[in-house]
Structure 1
Amino acid sequence: MTEKKEHLLIVFENLSKTKNECSCEILSECGLSDITVKQIGYLKIIDEHGDVTFSRLAKITRNSKPTITEMVNKFVKMDCVYKEKSPEDGRIFYIRLTEKGRRIARAEENALLRVIEKMAGSLDEKEIDTLINLLEKVW
Structure 2
Amino acid sequence: MELPELFQMLIKQTVQLKHEEMKKHDFSDVNFSLLQYILNIGEFDNLTFSDLAEKMNITKPAVTASIQKLIEKGLVTKQQSLEDKRIFYLSLTEKGQEVFKVSKIANSKLEEMIRRKLSRDEVEQLRFLLAKVFT
TM range (shorter): 0.5 to 0.7
Residues 46 and 90 in structure 2, CA contact (< 8 A), matched pair in contact too: yes
Give 1:28 deviation, angstroms.
4.0
Separation in 2, partners of 1:92, 1:74: 19
Q: How many residues align?
A: 117
TM-score, L = length of structure 2: 0.61
Picking from 70, 89, 92, the partner of 1:94 is 89
Judged with a 3 Å threshold, the aligned counterparts in structure 2 of structure 1 residues 30 and 99 are, in CA distance, closer, same or farther, namely farther
Q: Deviations over 1:71-129 (max 9, x none)?
A: 000101111101111122222100111111111122132356689xxxxxxxxxxxxxx
Q: Deviations over 1:13-46 (max 9, x none)?
A: xxx8xxx77x557534654213222221221011
1:58 and 2:53 are equivalent in the alignment? yes
Decide which structure has the larger Cα Rg and report it. Answer: 1
Separation in 1, partners of 2:19, 2:72: 21
The letter of the residue matching 2:39 is K
- Alignment RMSD: 3.7
Separation in 2, partners of 1:29, 1:136: 31
Picking from 25, 36, 41, the partner of 1:46 is 41
The residue that corresponds to 1:35 in the other structure is 30
Identical-pair percentage: 30
The residue that corresponds to 1:69 in the other structure is 64
Structure 2: which 5+ residue stretches go unaligned? 1-12, 111-118, 128-135
TM-score, L = length of structure 1: 0.60
Residues 41 and 105 in structure 1, CA contact (< 8 A), matched pair in contact too: no
